[in-house]
């Protein structure tokens, strides 16, 4: 049996992985997105006919649905939050808006805040506001980190 743990949030994924191992099941890998899951399953199927089981968390239904769509058995793990434990932002909360992606692409091209404001016909303060939410969503403090983080999560093209 090949067990794949899925959760879009890295922290959740780590905890889920620990819980799965605690329960005595093997845990062969953890994946973050439906697309990665699809790729991985395609690779595994290409390789052999090992049974694949996907473990997902209940508040991350997209991944579970994806696994079911691929015809895989899915185990849903409850995600009761311990009191006082901070909820990490969900994938939906972290996803960039179209406008934010547009702004980030301009940042990567080296356009100034004023230049971005002119081309999008918005005020420079609105650009700064977008940058602040962008940084928060990506969990970064600088432009260079924002570009790298967005490239890594597939939000910004190279």
Residues that bind other proteins (CB under 8 A): 2, 28-33, 35-36, 39-40, 43-44, 46-47, 105-116, 118-120, 131, 142-144, 147-148, 151-158
For other proteins, the closer of residues 87 and 144 by Cβ is 144
For other proteins, the closer of residues 64 and 117 by Cβ is 117
* CB of residue 85 to other proteins, shortest distance in Å: 26
* CB of residue 76 to other proteins, shortest distance in Å: 22
* CB of residue 97 to other proteins, shortest distance in Å: 16
For other proteins, the closer of residues 72 and 148 by Cβ is 148
For other proteins, the closer of residues 66 and 106 by Cβ is 106
Residues 137 and 97: their CA atoms lie apart, in Å, by 10
Which residues is 31 bridged to in the sheet?
6
* CB of residue 145 to other proteins, shortest distance in Å: 9
Q: Using CA atoms in the order 101, 107, 110, 115, what is the torsion angle rounded to 10 degrees?
A: 90
* CB of residue 60 to other proteins, shortest distance in Å: 17
Report CA Rg, the chain. Answer: 19
If residue 104 lies in a helix (H) or strand (E), which one and from where to where? helix 98-108
Tell me which residue has tokens 């691929």.
Answer: 70
In this structure, the number of other CB atoms found within 10 A of the CB of residue 87 comes to 12
For other proteins, the closer of residues 29 and 58 by Cβ is 29
Residues 107 and 93: their CA atoms lie apart, in Å, by 22
If residue 69 lies in a helix (H) or strand (E), which one and from where to where? helix 61-69
């Amino acid at each position: 049996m090949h067990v794949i743990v899925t959760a879009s949030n890295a922290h959740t994924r780590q905890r889920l992985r620990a819980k799965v191992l605690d329960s005595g099941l093997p845990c062969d890998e953890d994946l973050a997105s439906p697309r990665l899951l699809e790729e991985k399953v395609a690779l595994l199927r290409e390789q052999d006919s090992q049974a694949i089981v996907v473990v997902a968390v209940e508040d991350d239904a997209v991944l579970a649905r994806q696994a079911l769509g691929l015809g895989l058995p899915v185990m849903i793990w409850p995600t009761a939050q311990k009191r006082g434990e901070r909820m990490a932002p969900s994938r939906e909360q972290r996803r960039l808006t179209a406008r934010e992606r547009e702004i980030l692409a301009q940042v990567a091209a080296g356009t100034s805040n004023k230049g971005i404001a002119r081309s999008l016909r918005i005020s420079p303060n609105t650009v700064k506001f977008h940058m602040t939410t962008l940084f928060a969503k990506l969990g970064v403090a600088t432009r260079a980190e924002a570009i790298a983080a967005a490239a890594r999560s597939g939000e910004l093209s190279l």
